[in-house]
Amino acid sequence: MAVLGYGLPNQACADLAAALVRARRLDDAVLAVAVMRRLKFRPAFSAYTVLIGALAEARRPERALELLRQMQEVGYEVGVHLFTTLVRALAREGQVADALALVDEVKGSCLEPDIVLYNVCIDCFGKAGNVDMACKFFHELKAQGLKPDDVSYTSMIWVLCKAGRLGEAEELFAQMEAERSVPCAYAYNTMIMGYGSAGRFEDAYKLLERLRERGCIPSVVSFNSILTCLGKKRKVDEALSLFEVMKKDAEPNSSTYNIIIDMLCLGGRVEEAYRILDEMEHASLFPNLLTVNIMVDRLCKARKLEEAYKIFESASQRGCNPDCVTYCSLIDGLGKKGQVDEAYRLFEKMLDAGHNANPVVYTSLIRNFFIHGRKEDGHKVFKELIRRGCKPDLTLLNTYMDCVFKAGEVEKGRMIFEDIRSYGFLPDVRSYSILIHGLTKAGQARETSNIFHAMKQQGFALDARAYNAVVDGFCKSGKVHKAYEILEEMKEKCVQPTVATYGAIVDGLAKIDRLDEAYMLFEEAKSKGIELNVVLYSSLIDGFGKVGRIDEAYLILEEMMKKGLTPNVYTWNSLLDALVKAEEINEALVCFQSMKEMKCPPNTYTYSILINGLCRVQKYNKAFVFWQDMQKQGLVPNVVTYTTMISGLAKVGNITDAYSLFERFKANGGIPDAASFNALIEGMSNANRAMEAYQTTVYQLSSSSCSWNFLVPDEG
- What pLDDT is recorded for position 544? 92
What pLDDT, on a 0 to 100 scale, did the predictor assign at position 700?
A: 55
- 3-state SS of 117-143 is HHHHHHHHHHHCCCHHHHHHHHHHHHH
Average pLDDT value for residue range 394-401: 94
Question: Of 543, 546, 484, which is closest to residue 519 (Cα–Cα)?
Answer: 543
Q: Using one digit for the tens of pLDDT, what is the confidence trace for 433-488? A: 899 888 888 888 778 778 888 877 777 777 888 888 888 888 888 888 888 888 88
Amino acid letter, 473: G
User: Is the per-residue pLDDT at 5 higher than 70?
Assistant: no
Distance CA 493, CA 470 (A): 15
Burial class of residue 611 in the structure, from the number of CB atoms within 10 Å of its CB (0-12 exposed, 13-18 middle, 19+ buried): buried
**Helices 45-57 & 26-38 angle (0-180, nearest 10):** 150
- Structure confidence at residue 423 (pLDDT): 87
> Which residue intervals of the chain bear CATH 1.25.40.10?
428-490+502-520, 625-716
Verdict on whether the full-model pTM lies above 0.95? no
Nearest residue to 43 (alpha-carbon basis) of 54, 57, 32: 32
Q: Which of 435, 337, 410, 419 is nearest to 382 (CA)?
A: 419
Measure the CA–CA gap between 536 and 106, rounded to whole angstroms: 55
Backbone angles phi, psi at 9, to 5 degrees: -55, 145
Distance CA 512, CA 518 (A): 10
pLDDT band for position 489 (50/70/90)?
Answer: confident
Rg for the chain (alpha carbons), in Å?
A: 35
**What is the identity of the amino acid at 513?**
D
Average pLDDT for 554-571: 92
What was the pLDDT predicted at 415? 94
pLDDT at 615: 84
Report residue 193's pLDDT band, with 50, 70 and 90 as the boundaries: confident
Task: Provide CB contacts within 8 A for 46, sequence distance 6+.
Answer: 10, 14, 17, 18
pLDDT tops 50 at residue 183: yes
- Each residue's pLDDT tens digit, 658-681: 777 777 777 776 666 676 677 677
pLDDT at 705: 46
At CA 636, angle to CA 631 and CA 639, rounded to 5?
Answer: 120
Share of the chain above pLDDT 70, in %: 93
3-state DSSP assignment of residue 149 = coil
Is 578:609 a contact under the CB 8 Å cutoff?
Answer: no
CATH number of 428-490+502-520: 1.25.40.10
Q: Is 322's pLDDT higher than 70?
A: yes
Is the per-residue pLDDT at 74 higher than 50?
A: yes
The confidence score (pLDDT) of residue 673 equals 67
* pLDDT value, residue 361: 94
User: What is the predicted pLDDT for the residue at 336?
Assistant: 92
Nearest one of 549, 546, 539, 544 to 571, comparing CA atoms? 539
Q: Which residue from 82, 79, 81 is spatially nearest to 65, judged by alpha carbons?
A: 82
CATH number of 625-716: 1.25.40.10
Planar angle of CA 305, 309, 312, nearest 5 degrees = 135
- Mean local confidence (pLDDT), 304-330: 84
